[in-house]
Amino acid sequence: MKNAKKSPQLGMGSEPVASSQRRTVLKAGAAAAVTLASPALVKAQAGPKIRVGYWPVASGLPFFAAVERGFFKEAGLDVEAVRFASPQQVAEAMLAGRLEGSSNGTASAALGIAELAQPGLLKIFCTNPTNAKFVLDQFIVAKDSPLKSVGDLSGKKVGCGPGVQNVTLTRAVLERAGSKNNQIIELPIAQHVAAIAAGQVDACYTLEPTGTVGRLNGTTRNLEVGVIAKYILGDPMAPWHGGSASLTSEFIQKNPEVTRRYIAAYRRGVDLVKNKPAEARPFLKGYTAIEGALTNEVPMADYMFSTEFKASDIAAFQKFFDLFSDRGIFSKRILIDSILYKG
């Protein structure tokens, strides 16, 4: 009897279960176990909630597309898009621990100020370089305005988006274009077209999709586009890394594998914008001021991951940041290479 095998028992009873019946019961039990465990397994795969702040400008499109197309969900990630009225507020929320990151379109200088306030706070993993070809930044005026260039704005009231990056760049561009005695007025970006139409300001330094909205509704026209590359970087085709997607260093250190999945899913959003813009453009709706068929008219920014940066890209980014240290906006010089995500 030593080699005799006892039939397995199920439950509390002592009666053996027939082999076929036992397999049926085991399969049913396994299926039930998987069903019961699935939510927990999904949650475990998702890991921590990733709260990402965004400003409602067109250059945030890869993030909007990744959310709406389910790229983050497919990667098992729990990503929450959080809208803010200014890039400064995004940076402040990261400092306060209320966000794990920023989307493209968040002013790079605002992130720089946050980094100076708390050294080691964040890493930039993707920028949205723009210039005369990949248009994001522009000065707009009333459709029938006689003004011909930024240099014609001397003595005029000029609106700009809220926050130190917008104000500093507006002032610097006006100065370098030879415009003097300007009154600069900070306004929410969604109010730029209306402010010009109402005569509240003579012009606005703004970001897409504002210029497209004003042009298509017959209210405004572009005075000059790609102004930061032209007047700040000294080359209309230079890459202006004015907006950046980032993650906090704390999040990256605590969640290296989740970070890799997040950036891979974000890259799918970038690839969609670059390779199939017609599929991506509709996702501007709800995230920016542009709606419906008008999304087809918005010019696209370019996108570059930090792991793709060449020496010339770092140099252009550094020249942009040096403007803020030279003008005392930054308490000290930030070396761009030190805040780039290296993968």
Provide mean pLDDT across the span 11-23: 35
**Sheet of 137-142, strand order:** 183-186, 157-160, 203-207, 137-142, 220-225
Tens of pLDDT, residues 117-167: 999 999 999 999 999 999 999 999 999 999 999 999 999 999 999 999 999
Mean of the per-residue pLDDT values for the chain?
88
Provide mean pLDDT across the span 275-298: 91
Amino acid (one-letter) located at 319: K
User: What would the two tokens of residue 151 be?
Assistant: 């240099």
What pTM value is reported for the model?
0.82
Whether residue 16 has pLDDT greater than 90: no
Collapsing DSSP states into helix, strand and coil, what is residue 11? coil
Whether residue 43 has pLDDT greater than 60: no
- At residue 55 the predicted structure's pLDDT band, cuts being 50, 70 and 90, is very high
Whether residue 7 has pLDDT greater than 90: no
Whether residue 100 has pLDDT greater than 90: yes
Whether residue 3 has pLDDT greater than 90: no
> What is the CATH architecture of 137-232?
3-Layer(aba) Sandwich (3.40)
Q: Domain extents for the chain? A: 46-129+241-339, 137-232
Looking at residue 102, its pLDDT comes to 98
Tens of pLDDT, residues 227-252: 999 999 999 999 999 999 999 999 99
User: What would the two tokens of residue 279 be?
Assistant: 């599929």
Identical fold between 46-129+241-339 and 137-232: yes
- At residue 45 the predicted structure's pLDDT band, cuts being 50, 70 and 90, is low
Scanning 11-106, the segments in alpha helix (DSSP H) are: 19-46, 61-68, 71-74, 87-95
Superfamily holding 46-129+241-339:
Periplasmic binding protein-like II (3.40.190.10)
